[in-house]
Structure 1
């Protein structure tokens, strides 16, 4: 079976959840099932490959144009299309980012929700071709879904959101198969001691072992780092460690770093390799990801694999039930500072069961590849 993995051209230079999912799925499809996988970053390249399936990753607004072009080319060439949407409710996170870029940081939900409803209700009915809420962007996403022979959401919750947001997909002949977003269990396990000489930037991790609050995510409004610091304002003795790129929203980054400087006891490590991340997770007291949108929340799963308690946002913002974040972690309202504080306090003081071997197996990339392979067989 020959599979083309169609993805944005910067998937390696701007690593995200879609990049990680693609690369690991490719590895285990090739290793376990002998599937021939080719990564494709240009529509023209689809013509040059003899493919059974074109697997398109990511249908968020930034990538939907390319995704649709890939799907249209596949249809012309009579190639089956599999789509991993990697999708969640996007309206509020988009508004939060738009406000932030204009210098309005940490706007309340009383402002965000009405703004998103108003813009969606107005702009979706206008013929404009620009903007997140435009009718054009919505129609392109709807068409991309309609071209897919099989749709592969990362959770039943994601499937439900897609069907609510694009109700016409309920009438499609497309098949559906949930493929769990997963973790490489060969890399993510409890690792209190680093296996090699400790890199200089990780020395602070060793000195703070077992004491620090960790957030592993790109520093941006979506990931909500500023509210983490505000939630811990009255607890200056608790070290906070941020791991991730700061090359996103400049105004938000500036606000986070100014507040961190004022608070003190806050450390920015920058980007860290997966091999190093297991050490970082394992030595944290709690991992906190009060994000406004996660189709799974890879960092939360990775943290659980490393034996560290987690705080995630509530079920409106991420698939809490499918990934058992409610069973193994604590949830918060990401808009409310007091809620984040309370969830961190609970994670620090109350024990939750460690993840089971069945959890490790189910949310492994070997199992995700199995589900993906079975999905391909449904349409080939």
Structure 2
């Protein structure tokens, strides 16, 4: 009911403005030849501004009234739109009426009653269009606000779901890994089979952690501070169990140190995963899997031989790069490597590079991949994309 009433108010204002404008054009005494208007700018311009444009405004108001009737928006929004339209008509038309009335009282009114009607109808039409413009802005702003609030609630629910699932999955994995140690200590079993099981559990733990990070969107970036890239890269390299193949140039980056280290860890792991070729460990190769399992310090005891360099971008570009000497990424695959679930490694989860992009974007950076100087993968981070 309120929708129909709102549509009636808006359409009624438009019809009234159109009617008054039409009456003022065909009023008695308006006998100007139309052909004369076309060749007389002094008469044509006032005719357009005082008659044609107000009539078009009135048609716009009528059209908005019909749109209000058929548009599937909340009734409250349509009521606000009608209120804005009526307010615009009242304010602009009211000023014009008070101006004419004050001139009438002071005997300075030098316009005929038809000219007054014409200017009142023009003012009402202008006011209606202005009111509609403000009303549509108000409706869209409210919808954007509601959409943002709903998105925040969805993100909160997603993070809660990811945390619960992550906790529920970690608990049985921890129990299972504990029993593996008990079995290894109490029974004389083939170590290859236990290595196979333990490697699978470690992979599941990594996937859980990556999934949780990806679900949070990489948005948890603390206040950025000047960070020595060399020290962060060294910590990340040690965390993933790198050997002597890291080379880092001296430079300072404004970043969240922990999140920057996560970026570098994922890139280093990506280099290890893809640089080994056929030597990559898999569940079908439990002996090699056992050699690659984390030791007590959380680092791997053996890694694929790969060299990685980290340093500033050349030229006028602001940022840094991470480059390895592995097989690289084919040009046709570079556009999608940052998508979740895309992985070129047999045992890859496809989440590592997706996390890299999310964390980089949370810093306000852009990241791209190209070919390195030795044919490997080169990831370039532009810390000032502008």
Normalized against structure 2, the TM-score is what?
Answer: 0.22
Q: Looking at both structures, which has the greater relative contact order when contacts are Cα pairs under 8 Å and sequence separation is at least 6?
A: 1
Structure whose CA Rg is larger: 2
Which structure has more helix as a fraction of its residues? Answer: 2
TM-score, normalised by the number of residues in structure 1: 0.22
